[in-house]
Amino acid sequence: MRNDPEKKQGASQPPAARAPRLNFQDHLADLEAEGLLVRIERPINKDTELHPLVRWQFLGGIPEDKRRAFLFTNVVDSHGRRYDIPVAVGALAASPRIYAMGMGTSVEEIGPAWMRAIANPIAPVVSASPPCQEVVITGEELHRPGGGVAALPVPVSTPGFDSAPYLTATLCITRDPDSGVQNMGMYRAALKATDRLAVRMLAGTGGAGGYFHWLKYRERKQPMPCAIVIGCSPVVVYTGPQRLAADMDELAVAGALAGAPIRKAKAVTVDLEVPADAEIVIEGIIDPEVLEPEAPFGESNGYVALEGFNMQMRVTAITRKRSPVFTSIISQVTPSESSIIKKVVFEPFYLAHLRDHLSIRGIRRVVMHEPLTNLRPVIFLQFAHTTDRNEVWRGLQGTASLRPDCGKIVIAVSEDIDPAGTDAVLWSLAYRSNPIEDVHIAPYRGGVQGAQYGPRSMDSTMLIDATLKRTMPPLALPAREFMEGARAIWEELGLPSLAVPSPWHGYNLGDWSDTWQRFANRTAAGEWELNGAETLARERRGLDPETPVRDIEKMGSE
């Protein structure tokens, strides 16, 4: 292993803004220069070791900003075969910062950059000599043992459960036979033979663009051309998971993200256009009359998807650069690379929808819960303290109704609660919500992602207002200045590094008098006996224990 990122000067600092890279290997070089890529040069088994090794950085408590891309340069399989193509994992979105590097922007500007690109697409241009076709493999080379897709170092994503190595970091390109508009989607594809794949294009709630194209080809009884791109400019790859309008060319949106046209090329054996600077392209034909069992395969809903019939793709060509890099992503149980790709775009998209389109007052943040739940089912909204409850409920309903696969459970909290801190959200649920008043359950919504192999039944939505509805006493932690002073001493003593949650200090929530603040100030200054003298002068007789002082003293003042 090389490149200790902690020793790279400036590794924790964001890189200077620059145009997005249009070549994936240039992007890898940028990550390495910033200390965001780790090279693994020892032999790594793609069937048993590669994905589990990278997955540890998502499961092992490593902070998000410490996650890295991995480049494996000595890839082998369980038969001892060594592959001459390196494998990159985590290079697209191991962290929001890596995603932002691919976009050529800051993390904070990811959402606005997408909005601008969708509004101002730049049409792609044709390349006469595309690098993605420097090597063309067709005919018998696709059928020989160990040839075709078997010659690619495709990792097993969930060893012990998956039924095959899977292409995961894909751009599956299909064309609408009516409009001629292409669609690019990130769909999984299982290796079945050297010249055959099983492709899963989401057919459930909302569907996928490729699936709707397949329906049209099935109606026409015509084969559907398909091209699967593995590795290209990040701004091109990032368009795949987004739900753009059906008539919008993803390459044109990618061009707007890049600030320059994306180069494209005619595929060799199918009537499709592919990114000219892609690393690898697998071309083929899908017969819409034939489906083949696909899976088991680990799903992002946290469970293994069992066998389902999905599309069979016959490979007609593999084209690639002379020295390509194979790209894979960590998906399945979240957090993952797959969930980061969605999270950094979905959250600002939802916030813009609520704030700008629905004009909901007081909305501050939208956070899609990532660990285990795969972003979409559980969404947290943060509102300003003074937000009217009608606005809170409009925000809850607007969130749940925007997408059929998002917002099964939506929880609103006040702005002192960090919606990214689940413990703080649960505290707010426990003490700021009355279930009989603040919980609304609505029927008739589609199932969450991954439900396609389960019972075919309608799901429902739960909306919860856990905002602060009245003034309350301060949070019972030391005030900020005392916690900051103690932390400075902690670090001075060289004690273990701290992972600071929110909340980490006490603060005023409105139910707090000048008298009580005077008591606190005296106590911190060591003058607590003055408080005792003052309370002695206010003693009463004939009361029950725990009678609120202010109730009695208020009565006496009236």
CA distance 214 to 191: 20
Nearest residue to 197 via CA among 311, 313, 295:
313
Query: Given this model, what pLDDT does residue 207 score?
Result: 64
Query: Given this model, what pLDDT does residue 456 score?
Result: 58
Q: How many CB atoms lie within 10 A of CB 471?
A: 11
Mean predicted confidence (pLDDT) in 275-288? 98
- The domain spans of the chain are 5-328, 358-465
Q: Are 149 and 141 in contact (CB under 8 A)?
A: no
Query: Given this model, what pLDDT does residue 556 score?
Result: 66
The DSSP bridge partners found for residue 190 are 166, 198
CA distance 273 to 180: 11
Q: Are 300 and 450 in contact (CB under 8 A)?
A: yes
In Å, what is the CA distance from 339 to each residue of 93, 95, 235, 421? 9, 10, 16, 17
Confidence of residue 93 (pLDDT cuts 50, 70, 90): very high
Q: Give the model confidence (pLDDT) of 463-480 as tens digits.
A: 999 999 999 999 999 999
Query: Given this model, what pLDDT does residue 1 score?
Result: 35
Query: Given this model, what pLDDT does residue 208 score?
Result: 78
For the segment(s) 5-328, the CATH number from 2.30.110.10, 3.50.50.60, 3.40.50.10140, 3.40.470.10 is 2.30.110.10
Mean predicted confidence (pLDDT) in 491-516? 92
CA distance 185 to 171: 5
Sheet holding 69-72, edge to edge: 37-40, 69-72, 87-89, 326-328
Q: Extract the tokens encoding 492.
A: 């001075």
What is the Cβ-side half-sphere exposure of residue 37, based on CA atoms within 13 angstroms?
Answer: 22
Write down the mean pLDDT value for the chain: 91
Query: Given this model, what pLDDT does residue 457 score?
Result: 67
Confidence of residue 8 (pLDDT cuts 50, 70, 90): very low
Element (H, E) at 105: none
Domain 358-465 in CATH 3.40.50.300? The answer is no
Q: Extract the tokens encoding 259.
A: 């600030």
Mean predicted confidence (pLDDT) in 50-56? 96
Res 383 pLDDT > 70: yes
- Which residues, 6+ apart, have CB-to-CB distance to 115 below 8 Å? 352
Mean predicted confidence (pLDDT) in 292-299? 91
Global confidence as pTM: 0.88
CA distance 194 to 488: 61
CA distance 343 to 369: 9
CA distance 265 to 131: 10
Q: Which amino acid is at 227?
A: A
Mean predicted confidence (pLDDT) in 505-523? 94
Q: 254 φ, ψ to 5°?
A: -60, -40
Res 5 pLDDT > 90: no
Q: Extract the tokens encoding 97.
A: 């910062």
Q: Are 288 and 218 in contact (CB under 8 A)?
A: yes
Q: Are 319 and 281 in contact (CB under 8 A)?
A: yes
Confidence of residue 12 (pLDDT cuts 50, 70, 90): very low
Query: Given this model, what pLDDT does residue 6 score?
Result: 38
Q: Are 132 and 280 in contact (CB under 8 A)?
A: yes
CA distance 344 to 351: 12
- Over its C-alpha atoms, the chain yields an Rg (Å, rounded) of 28
Confidence of residue 336 (pLDDT cuts 50, 70, 90): very high
Confidence of residue 205 (pLDDT cuts 50, 70, 90): low
Q: Give the model confidence (pLDDT) of 139-176 as tens digits.
A: 999 999 999 999 999 999 999 999 999 999 999 999 99
Q: Extract the tokens encoding 441.
A: 């359950």
Mean predicted confidence (pLDDT) in 397-424? 94
Lowest pLDDT segment from 234-248, 466-480, 519-533: 234-248
Please state, for a pLDDT cut of 70, what percent of the chain lies above it: 93
Mean predicted confidence (pLDDT) in 70-84? 97
CA distance 251 to 258: 10
Check residues 303 and 327 and name the one with the higher pLDDT.
327
Nearest residue to 414 via CA among 353, 465, 367:
465
Res 31 pLDDT > 60: yes
Mean predicted confidence (pLDDT) in 287-293? 95
Q: Extract the tokens encoding 318.
A: 């593999």
Res 313 pLDDT > 50: yes
Confidence of residue 445 (pLDDT cuts 50, 70, 90): confident
Mean predicted confidence (pLDDT) in 395-415? 94
Query: Given this model, what pLDDT does residue 305 score?
Result: 87
Q: How many CB atoms lie within 10 A of CB 164?
A: 18
Q: Which amino acid is at 395?
A: G
CA distance 188 to 515: 64
Domains 5-328 and 358-465 share a fold: no
Q: Give the model confidence (pLDDT) of 358-379 as tens digits.
A: 999 999 999 999 999 888 899 9
Mean predicted confidence (pLDDT) in 46-74? 94
CA distance 270 to 192: 21
CA distance 187 to 171: 7
Q: Which string of b and e fits 279-290 if b means at least 16 CB within 10 Å?
A: bbbbbbebbbee
